[in-house]
Chain A
């Protein structure tokens, strides 16, 4: 049984073999509380996620839009901690085989201790880290210990990223690369058929052999369908958080619908 960056690679290989994009879903740990978030995450995984991004809450999530901000605020109010989020990851791992990526900001993770975080992340069965405010220039503090444990490091490429920066981000990335679809925060409005977006993804494709996922603003199956041919995976975040607020069943249904959109023509 593979783990860490290998498990991530296997998930993308499986989706590719089925001629579809991988469905990457984001949910915040402890939103609205510990057990409530587990129910939602289980429902989303049962609905057909290929990769789970598990949000580890931070008090000041500056790259996130209102939906994920509010989710992180609820989570902290219900007692979320880094240790608690790692325990959630372990519970998810007991039931599901899909790769788990911890999504967070530098301060809670670095504050926890890079060595300790990496060891416990691996022990919990999570596979990679995505840290929004650790650009490659500063990544080594976490990336080093995480890589030593076989964990992936997911770098972000934005529409504003210059070619020189792109090379820097790609050099630091393992597992997969996250292409930010729009110049803005998570959950902002997106035109998934924008030719400039597709061209940007093609340029990135030619610069890296890593799987590329595209996210920010992807809400519906049509959005996923419009992007499935341009990336190895499509990320849905704010829309899942909002559906989760309507209950695990509604969330599971949405994931099924989105999953249907991943098939390439």
Chain B
């Protein structure tokens, strides 16, 4: 059956409704009928807003004056020596307000929600970064905000829960399913099914039903547009490659978008192979199969019977069993290539970037850094490479310490033993010294390490 194009479906960027797969055979609007009108409304409103100078000017002004754009393109000084050469340019999304690229998308979507007359915002979050960025945008605009977060993640990322609440958002823990990111998205979709009249759902990546993958890419392409202008200004030519980590894939699509038409610029997405492809991982391109999930047709980690598998990565931002449909398309057409980096390699790259450049990357970003040696091996030591530093590593310090820094833990243990000995000697007498805070932390840290063991 081929329905005729309907007048209400006038998105000029897309063909008739039966061809909703925006990106080759990927994309589409696989949602319950209740949501279809809202998704159609967004698909109509988005291109109009994006073509409206008033909207775009307001978006850009907020990125400039509030988010802190443009972000620098920093040439790495000492990293190339450690990875076999190359000229490496770091696109510094870690310097954005809230510490990652996520805010670019949130500002744009909340602006659009206001334009649509929506009075309430919902979002999902895994590690909490998109939740914090959405809560921030809502605080900026004075909009009520509800963030769904898997109960597992609420306890793993308690500090981001505090941040969101401090910013005035309501955080709702999700206990269904695996109680992680995919279930948080399910819960947000269920909220939206019931609240669609007054609520906008700010999806945090280039995923979900059309027009989200397209819209989020456009709201993130400021990364690539800036980087392109910056590299041309700096060296007078385009780079040989652009590299970025991929969970759902929004920071990568934001960077890639500016270079996709330049066939000479190779595009590398880096996904998380977690504990290894034989174990628990989030390698959707390597191990996924075409499926329909969270409103889109894309590559999905699933059983032979079409049930979703739980993903795993040490970085919560890559811990998702799907991938944005445009990435699936870039993979299928060979325009971009997708490499895999394990938890251990990512941890090592975190330390490498910290020590060679004085930049502590998010664990997500560290996957992209860890892929650089392979990229340089392939393209040669003269290659010019832009890598997206999608976020900063502050949020990951607990994880880094438990996995990477036994020396610090040993130090804390030693201080703890010393405190106990001192207590025993003085029978709890006064005189707790300056080490108290550290020792108190030590209790928490040891407890966490046991859980992880």
A residues near B, CB below 8 A? 57-63, 65-66, 69-70, 73, 76, 81-83, 105-112, 132-140, 143-144, 155-162, 164-165, 168-169, 171-172, 180, 183-185, 188
- Can you report 10 A-B residue pairs in the complex whose CB atoms are below 8 A from each other? A60-B177, A63-B32, A106-B292, A111-B304, A112-B306, A140-B18, A144-B1, A156-B32, A165-B33, A180-B34
Q: Could you say which of A60, A108, A139 has the most chain B C-beta atoms within 10 Å of its C-beta? A: A60
Contact with A along B9-42 (1 / 0, CB 8 A): 0000000011010000000111111111110100
Please choose the segment from B192-200, B246-254, B274-282 that sits at the chain A interface, where 4 or more of its residues have CB less than 8 A away.
Answer: B192-200
Contact B292 A107 (CB under 8 A): yes
Q: Could you say which of A83, A136, A172 has the most chain B C-beta atoms within 10 Å of its C-beta? A: A136
Whose C-beta in chain A lies nearest to the C-beta of B38? A160
Whose C-beta in chain B lies nearest to the C-beta of A64? B190
Answer whether residue B308 sits at the interface, using C-beta atoms and an 8 A cutoff: yes
Whose C-beta in chain B lies nearest to the C-beta of A144? B1
Task: Determine how close the nearest CB of chain A comes to the CB of B292; give it in whole angstroms.
Answer: 4
Contact A183 B306 (CB under 8 A): no
Task: Determine how close the nearest CB of chain A comes to the CB of B251; give it in whole angstroms.
Answer: 25
Contact A110 B34 (CB under 8 A): no
Contact A137 B18 (CB under 8 A): yes
Known: A138-B28, A158-B34, A169-B33. A110 touches B7 (CB 8 A): no
Contacts of A70 in B (CB 8 A): 176
Instruction: List 12 additional A-B contacts (Cβ < 8 Å) besides A111-B306, A137-B3.
Output: A60-B182, A73-B177, A76-B307, A82-B305, A110-B306, A111-B305, A134-B30, A140-B2, A158-B32, A158-B34, A160-B33, A183-B194
Whose C-beta in chain B lies nearest to the C-beta of A108? B306
Contact A139 B34 (CB under 8 A): no
Contact A110 B292 (CB under 8 A): yes
Q: Which 9 residue pairs spanning A and B have beta carbons closest together?
A: A111-B306, A108-B306, A184-B194, A158-B34, A63-B32, A106-B292, A59-B307, A156-B33, A62-B189
Q: Could you say which of B32, B182, B300, B302 has the most chain A C-beta atoms within 10 Å of its C-beta? A: B32
Q: Could you say which of A58, A136, A138, A161 has the most chain B C-beta atoms within 10 Å of its C-beta? A: A138
Task: Determine how close the nearest CB of chain B comes to the CB of A213; give it in whole angstroms.
Answer: 14
Contact A133 B30 (CB under 8 A): yes
Contacts of A81 in B (CB 8 A): 305
Contacts of B183 in A (CB 8 A): 60
Task: Determine how close the nearest CB of chain B comes to the CB of A130; give it in whole angstroms.
Answer: 11
Q: How far is the CA of A112 from the CA of B197 in the complex (A)?
A: 35
Whose C-beta in chain A lies nearest to the C-beta of B30? A133
Contact B33 A180 (CB under 8 A): yes
Q: How far is the CA of A57 from the CA of B307 in the complex (A)?
A: 9
Contacts of B176 in A (CB 8 A): 66, 69-70, 73
Q: How far is the CA of A156 from the CA of B197 in the complex (A)?
A: 19
Contact B177 A138 (CB under 8 A): no
Contacts of B193 in A (CB 8 A): 62-63, 183-185
Interface size on B, residues (CB 8 A): 45
Answer whether residue B288 sits at the interface, using C-beta atoms and an 8 A cutoff: no
Contacts of A63 in B (CB 8 A): 32, 34, 190, 193
Question: A132, A139, A183: which contacts B196 (Cβ < 8 A)?
Answer: A183
Contact B30 A65 (CB under 8 A): no
Answer whether residue B291 sits at the interface, using C-beta atoms and an 8 A cutoff: yes
Contacts of A188 in B (CB 8 A): 194
Contacts of A158 in B (CB 8 A): 32-34, 36-37
Q: How far is the CA of A73 from the CA of B289 in the complex (A)?
A: 22
Contacts of B196 in A (CB 8 A): 160, 183
Contacts of A164 in B (CB 8 A): 6-8
Q: How far is the CA of A193 from the CA of B176 in the complex (A)?
A: 32
Q: How far is the CA of A105 from the CA of B302 in the complex (A)?
A: 14
Contact A107 B29 (CB under 8 A): no
Tell me which residues from 248 to 283 in chain B have a Cβ below 8 Å from any Cβ of chain A.
none
Known: A135-B33, A138-B30, A160-B38. A111 touches B20 (CB 8 A): no
Whose C-beta in chain B lies nearest to the C-beta of A65? B190
Contacts of B289 in A (CB 8 A): 111
Tell me which residues from 89 to 143 in chain B have a Cβ below 8 Å from any Cβ of chain A.
none
Whose C-beta in chain B lies nearest to the C-beta of A66? B176
Q: How far is the CA of A70 from the CA of B197 in the complex (A)?
A: 27
Answer whether residue B295 sits at the interface, using C-beta atoms and an 8 A cutoff: yes
Q: Could you say which of A107, A158, A161 has the most chain B C-beta atoms within 10 Å of its C-beta? A: A107
Contacts of B307 in A (CB 8 A): 57-59, 76, 107-108
Contact A133 B8 (CB under 8 A): no
Contacts of B212 in A (CB 8 A): none
Question: A62, A73, A143, A159: which contacts B32 (Cβ < 8 A)?
Answer: A62
Contacts of A73 in B (CB 8 A): 176-177
Known: A76-B307, A108-B306, A136-B1. A183 touches B32 (CB 8 A): no
